[in-house]
Amino acid sequence: MPRGSKGKARKQSKQPKTPAKNKQQLKKKKRSLSPATKAALPAETKPPTEAKPPTETQPLVAEKPPAATPEPAEGQVDAEMNEARARIRANPEYLRILTAQWRRWKKLAKNKDFVWETFKLKFQLLEFLERNPDQIKELFRPVFSVTPSNLDAVNGRISNLPDERLKALLTRYARYVLQYGVFLVLENDYFQAHSLGFWGNKFHVAVRNGQIEPIADAPTWEEEGARPLAKSFRPGDVIVTGTPMSDGFESDELLIPTGLRSLMDNGWAKYVLIEDEDKSSILRQILDFAYSPDQVTVIDYESTKFFVVGENVPLIEVWADLRKVAAEFQRQIGDGDQRGASRKIWRLAARLNLIVRSKKTQTDKEEVLRRMQDREAIEDKKTLKAWTAKRISSNQSYLSQLKAQLKDRSV
């Protein structure tokens, strides 16, 4: 080796390394570290990751528009509903309300009109669900609730629908919810009946802007006040938490007339105190010309009679005739002798449920009905009868008649 060449080589070794050589050493260093060691290193000491330079042949990718917010999954809605129910159960009044609701369901189960209208609505809504599932799911998920406070919004929502038959059906549904305090929820492609909160026997309401509202400004059921039940619910959904279960209408502190307590305790009476803040409301107009302090006024409204008794009317003199009017009205709309009616209505509900809910074939439904009738005969301590061809044919006809009645769309 020539003199000085060794020193020259030593000087060259002290010069900065070339990028290619640097890359190779970085790769070797990177391979020498285990994953656990890499994770333990501070961010500033971790080996840097070199981004690959784009090649000239790589096409340019246009920036994607922001993705649309997806509709909430059914499981997500169910979870939010369960969360809302859990908040309600945590309320100290929950047990009292639950007991009152149980009494109310028990009383409704004895009401033949309620049973028929419930299964009619379910049957006819299921028909619409089969034809146009998206439309019905949009209406009933998470829930299509109706209260006197949001009745105007609900009627507006119904009036915007293009299908006249569906509009008529939902109008009946709105009346059903207000009359019985029960609403329908679409669960697993079937409509389940749920109580619209606890509707007791004492109510304090106000007439404002042509509609009934709570006497206070939306008393809160929860501390956070009225708010949408969940962020994923679409505009137009009419369920809210934060309002009481009875929408603020019920009033435990309301003083009631003397003598009415025993009737209310037995479930025979309700008391509603109305403060009419609308000087030209329809209720005020009716009473202005129909009420008289010296007379009894009978107001006949859509097959329902209101008896308005003036404060100067001698009840001893008029009651004998007035009770005849009430009794005649009950005979016209009632079913006569109601002894044993509860058992008959429960059995009717079981048959209607067999038609509406069961996915069985017609032959299987007839077989189920025969077993039901045999069990009922045993409960009534009657002798079981043989299933002749005539009896089987009679059952077939009976099921067909019930189904035809469920299709009846008359109000």
Q: How confident is the model at residue 218 (pLDDT cuts 50, 70, 90)?
A: very low
Assess whether 173 and 91 both reside in one domain.
Answer: yes
Assess whether 130 and 255 both reside in one domain.
Answer: yes
Assess whether 178 and 209 both reside in one domain.
Answer: yes
Which residues span the domain enclosing 385? Answer: 341-407
Triad 73, 77, 83: Cα angle to 5°: 145
Assess whether 92 and 194 both reside in one domain.
Answer: yes
| pLDDT recorded at residue 103 | 78
Residue 210 has pLDDT above 50, yes or no: yes
Assess whether 299 and 403 both reside in one domain.
Answer: no
User: Residue 233 CB: number of other CB atoms within 10 A?
Assistant: 18
Average pLDDT of the chain? 75
pLDDT digits (tens, 9 = 90+) for 152-184: 888 888 999 999 999 999 999 999 988 888 889
More reliable by pLDDT, 304 or 364: 364
Q: How confident is the model at residue 223 (pLDDT cuts 50, 70, 90)?
A: very low
> Does some domain include residue 300?
yes
Assess whether 216 and 346 both reside in one domain.
Answer: no
Residue 141 has pLDDT above 60, yes or no: yes
pLDDT digits (tens, 9 = 90+) for 48-71: 555 455 545 545 545 555 555 555
> Does some domain include residue 390?
yes
142: cis peptide before it, omega within 30°?
yes
Assess whether 268 and 315 both reside in one domain.
Answer: no
| pLDDT recorded at residue 173 | 94
End position of a domain, from candidates 267, 301, 332: 332
> Does some domain include residue 358?
yes
Read off the tokens for 376: 């009922």
pLDDT digits (tens, 9 = 90+) for 380-403: 888 888 999 999 999 999 999 999
> Does some domain include residue 365?
yes
pLDDT digits (tens, 9 = 90+) for 82-123: 777 777 777 776 777 677 778 778 888 888 889 999 999 999
Residue 257 has pLDDT above 50, yes or no: yes
> Does some domain include residue 280?
yes
Assess whether 260 and 308 both reside in one domain.
Answer: no
Residue 315 has pLDDT above 60, yes or no: yes
190-195 contacts at long range (C-beta below 8 A, 24 or more positions apart): 190/122, 190/126, 190/357, 191/121, 191/122, 191/125, 191/126, 191/140, 193/118, 195/101, 195/104, 195/105
Assess whether 387 and 257 both reside in one domain.
Answer: no
pLDDT digits (tens, 9 = 90+) for 180-190: 888 898 888 88
> Does some domain include residue 185?
yes
pLDDT digits (tens, 9 = 90+) for 283-303: 888 888 888 999 999 888 877
> Does some domain include residue 63?
no
Helices (H) and strands (E) in the chain, counts: 15, 9
> Does some domain include residue 68?
no
User: Residue 31 CB: number of other CB atoms within 10 A?
Assistant: 8
- Counted residue by residue, the chain has a size of 411
Domain count, the chain: 3
Place of tokens 């969940």: 230
User: Residue 139 CB: number of other CB atoms within 10 A?
Assistant: 21
Assess whether 140 and 213 both reside in one domain.
Answer: yes
pLDDT exceeding 70 applies to what percent of the chain?
69
Assess whether 274 and 322 both reside in one domain.
Answer: no
Assess whether 100 and 224 both reside in one domain.
Answer: yes
Place of tokens 């009745």: 151
Read off the tokens for 126: 């299921």
